[in-house]
Amino acid sequence: MAAPRPMEVALLASVFVVAACGLVYELAAGALASYLLGDSVLQFSTVIGTYLFAMGVGSYLSRFFVRQLPAHFLRIELMVALVGGALPAVLFIANAYIPGSFRFLLYALVLLVGVLVGLEIPLVMRILKRDVALKELVSQVLTYDYLGALAVSVAFPLVLVPQLGLIRTGLLFGVMNAAVALWALWLFRGELRQLRLHALACLLTLGALVAGFAGADHITTLAEDKFYQDGIVFTATSPYQRIVVTNGRSGHRLFLNGNLQFAERDEYRYHEALVHPVMAAHGAPKKVAVLGGGDGMAVREVLKYPGVESITLVELDPNMTRVFSEHPVLSQLNGGALSSPKVKIVNTDAFGWLQAGSDVFDVIIVDFPDPTNFSIGKLYTSSFYGLLDRRLSASGYAVIQTTSPLVARKSFWTVATTIEAVGLTATPYHAHVPSFGEWGYLIASRRPYRLPQALPPALPEGLRFLNLESLPQLFDFPQDMARVPAEVNRLSNQLLVNTYEQEWGKVMR
């Protein structure tokens, strides 16, 4: 068999790069959609479906490109480089500066990139067809196409996004697409008309993308300063989420994927209500687990009980626990709680941690984000609460933060029904947190819950919000938050995610 010619090798290498770049743009669009719109399964499904449809349209349109195929290929590469490379940056800025435009722009860009990517491979195959037999051509092109997709699918969540962020990742692969165009310019320099204009277009595109890559931090800051209003203290992108901490007139605020998690001015209300009704009611908790709550605020409240011997904090994202342990300003917010010798930090998925272990705890505090997508929604299912029951001591209490019983009334009572479905008693209560409004919690236990007879003392060491006189009011539900019929949220259906989206969606519109 004859050795492949240099041009053939170059074009097949281009196929590898083209496939990698196309998948990066698709993954970046899906990740941004899940960050900003929630429900990652829905967003990735619709983005991927739109992208594949657009690729089919592009493949069909390629039949109308008859002459000057290398020139068409070069121009399409430059267009993919510009549109795909800039896609994350454009969407970030649009979300901040043109509210309501994100969804339309997202699918418009995905369609455009998909059509352009759909044009690329057929054109490469037709160029190669001049020198390669059809049988070998199809197998070689598809092999390199799939290899490029495999490389990116592994690198995107593990290396690219954690190390570069979405904006730089998009621009980097835009540069790679432009480099393929420059390579095509050199390979087909003898066939191309207006060679100088093509060379100028390549250089201008590369220059714009490289400049964007160098200034990616400024682009991100520009978008996030507008979106969050307050000054940004800290940002990080992990495989799990975008972490942003701001500081303004309300003090420090934590956002995960654009959703507010706490505000310094009133987080004490949320965390005191979360922790103390169960800690004080138990009487003498020694082993405590905190699931979620990587900011350390719940751990701070648990440490107000000197009898506690150990606290196991299970937080999926190591970025969260690291920054709230090491950042001087943020660690001050939790009183240095994560540096306590009583605290053991486990960076893993809470569902898997419950399955794998056998230790039991006197109190388990469940402080996850609201069920905005199915990956979080699994932590509100009967399967999860069944595992929670196994890790709870006979006299123990678990408490679960459970969204707003006023805004998301059915969602709140769905969680109560789900807890009861595994044989636990569900005791609901609520507290007013100005940054969130009326917020709900549920206590899960085998024994009936009874109000505590004592709480930690008031300031400076103790509580700012709760006292024995006000505590009973938290368990009183007015008519507009009273229980409504709800189904069990199971791992197989995850109906809570849809219910939650419907209820909160009415408020956001």
Report, as residue numbers or ranges, the catalytic residues: 367
Q: Tell me how far apart the alpha carbons of residues 448 and 152 are, in angstroms, rounded to a whole number.
A: 52
Three-state SS sequence of 224-288: HHHHHCCEEEEEEECCCCEEEEEEECCEEEEEECCEEEEECCCHHHHHHHHHHHHHHHHCCCCEE
- Beta partners for residue 263, in sequence order: 253
Question: What is residue 400's three-state secondary structure?
Answer: strand
C-alpha 91: how far from chain center: 16
Question: What is residue 396's three-state secondary structure?
Answer: strand
Locate tokens 């219910």: which residue?
499
68: left (phi over 0), alpha (psi -120 to 50) or beta: left
CB 344 within 8 A of CB 310: yes
Give me 493's structure tokens: 């259906």
Nearest Cα to Cα of residue 170 among 235, 109, 102: 109
Nearest Cα to Cα of residue 239 among 173, 155, 356: 155
CB 124 within 8 A of CB 16: no
